[in-house]
A = this chain, B = another copy of it.
């Protein structure tokens, strides 16, 4: 008798707390299970058209939003993906994240980000995501250290997709045809008439570095240009590394190069710094080309000629593939993306043009 609370509850009344499925159901005068079936868009739902409408309307009126946490608990899935990146402020990784976020979002997943501090890779970064039951799958990227990745992938209790490279012992990956990209870049230099072409490389064990190095050698071989080890130095993937490697090459090369193929944007930027320090002009005295593209390539002086790399696509495909794995639509993800196109800008030109030095 004391329960004669204001029962004329026909008003929207999304007063304070979020409406639950229960609220929707009672407002529509049905059981929660029925409401669930409708709202979830259950395939074989067999629900009366009229009730369907009533439920939908109630949901709308109450501004119902499913509680993902509850659903997660019930179906034992988190509907989120984790992505572990070693350096966030590197265009490669940010673009990868953009793509991954888009893929995840399209499929109703969220993207959870884990930054792996350089130098503390062993610690927990991957585990944090993998073992804490927070994600249904893991996208992993790495620079040079393979062992950590391998270990993490093994320990993960969820599907893992490796981005940006293929690796022995890891089944799923989306990677890039680095050697093809390198070949395109070097061929461009050769077409311009260069024969003394230097290469700033990655560490020469991991897959990416090797791929580009191979492409470099292949292109030279095709053109019948002999390979000169004195023209190669390891730069890694940083600006500083690029600058140092460039200096090494300039000092050690018997006959100095007229062009250089840098393994990545950062290395190329470093190289240009070093080159200009020596008073050498780009591209008059030395042409520079690299792989990967983006606003920074345009912003440098001179603007950089690059072979475009579908980095965002890689993130997107990785996310979609990972979700396919999670939801059992696929059992393996393995695809290689190809370089997009050569974008010729101001950093490359024919060798030895008669430009006077000031």
Whether the pair A299, B94 counts as a contact (CB closer than 8 A) is: no
Residues of the B chain whose Cβ atoms lie less than 8 Å from the Cβ of A91: 89
Report copies per complex: 2
Contact of A101 among B113, B269, B358 (CB under 8 A): B113
Interface positions, chain A 91-125, Cβ under 8 Å from B, are: 91, 94-95, 97-98, 101-102, 105, 110-115
A270 interface hit (Cβ, 8 Å): yes
List the B residue with the shortest CB-CB distance to A90. Answer: B94
Shortest CB-to-CB span from A121 to chain B, Å, is: 15
Interface positions, chain A 230-252, Cβ under 8 Å from B, are: 238-239
A: contact size bracket: 35 or more
Contact of A273 among B65, B134, B276, B303 (CB under 8 A): B303
Contact of A69 among B78, B296, B298 (CB under 8 A): B78
List the B residue with the shortest CB-CB distance to A243. Answer: B299
| Chain A 31-68 interface mask (CB, 8 Å, partner B; 1/0) | 00000000000000000000000000000000001111
In angstroms, Cα B94 to Cα A80, docked, is 21
In angstroms, Cα B128 to Cα A102, docked, is 13
Shortest CB-to-CB span from A156 to chain B, Å, is: 13
Whether the pair B88, A133 counts as a contact (CB closer than 8 A) is: no
In angstroms, Cα B298 to Cα A239, docked, is 9
Most buried by B among A110, A133, A303: A110
In angstroms, Cα B238 to Cα A131, docked, is 40
A-B contact pairs, 6 of them (CB 8 A): A69-B133, A80-B112, A88-B97, A89-B95, A101-B114, A111-B112
